[in-house]
Amino acid sequence: MLQIGPYKLPNPVALAPMAGVTDLPFRRLCAELGAGLVVAEMVSSNPRLRDSRKTLWRSRHDEEIQPRSVQIAGNDPTEMAAAAVYNVAQGAQIIDINMGCPAKKVCRKAAGSALLADEDLVQRILTAVVAAVDVPVTLKIRTGPTPDSRNGVSIARIAEDAGIAALAVHGRSRACAFRGQVEYDTIAAIVAATQIPVFANGDIDSAAAAAAVLASTGAAGVMIGRAAQGRPWLPGQIAAHLSTGLTPPDPSQAEQLAIMYRHVCALHDFYGEFMGLRIARKHVSWYLQGRPDYAAQRSVFNQLERAADQLQHLQQLAPGHSNETHSNEVIAA
């Protein structure tokens, strides 16, 4: 059983922190459908941003989802330590440090994966954060700044020495972003060089892929990112396969529509109608990918300007079901 500090996870499948995606409604849904760990969207260590609307949304945590893992991002050891203390006071049970995000707006501030180029600063940040809080501290990294300067093994050893409780490794460099082959061999080298649990991350989009990655890397678990968008059941599906060797079938079309409907309702409730219906658009787009009428449905849905209209449209997607019948299915799901 994979353990992070005092927390024994129900399974070794984690939902990756994704800005603009892993908000409370999505984390709650993925946890309900079987993810072993869900990590919140990154929040800035900058104290001046703590009362911004975006940070307040990202800082809301569900008491029912435990352990509550909160990711912080920044480049100043003192500020990062203070951010960890603040978030623990707000209910975080695990602090995750972001050194994996390749987004330009994050790296321009010398945060995220940009930090990997400065091993001394990495060491100072990790040491400061671990010393500041009494909860487990985890770390998300990439394999290095560029393919020609991979230092993932070195960073992992620094992390272990600093007291990091678990490590997630996206198997690409910062420069590669999400392009090219995932370096599972580098993840394997990191696993071999450390004693702490390592989550393998990158292009794991099925139960078979997860099993193959675990077999080739020796990692303790897998972390699912973009593949879970529109498929919140995927982490649980992978967990079931790793436990039993059998892969549960995808939810039926009716079940998927019911999940999507509940998700959109939760977004409306969480964000309010104005932002909720806008955020629902991208999630519904992900859910509907693969349908033959995807482009048309997406176009229609994205033009709807009332929450009630979005819900009515989703009810009408179920073939052979009246609005009343599908509504009852959704409520029961």
Just list the catalytic residues.
Answer: 101
Strand 137-142, strand 221-224: pairing: unpaired
Number of Cβ within 10 Å of residue 167's Cβ equals 24
Give me the phi and psi of 178, to 5 degrees please: -115, 25
β-strand partners of 262? none
* CA 232 to each of CA 14, 27, 171, 237, 297: distance values in angstroms, whole numbers, following the listed order: 12, 9, 22, 9, 20
Give me the phi and psi of 168, to 5 degrees please: -110, 130
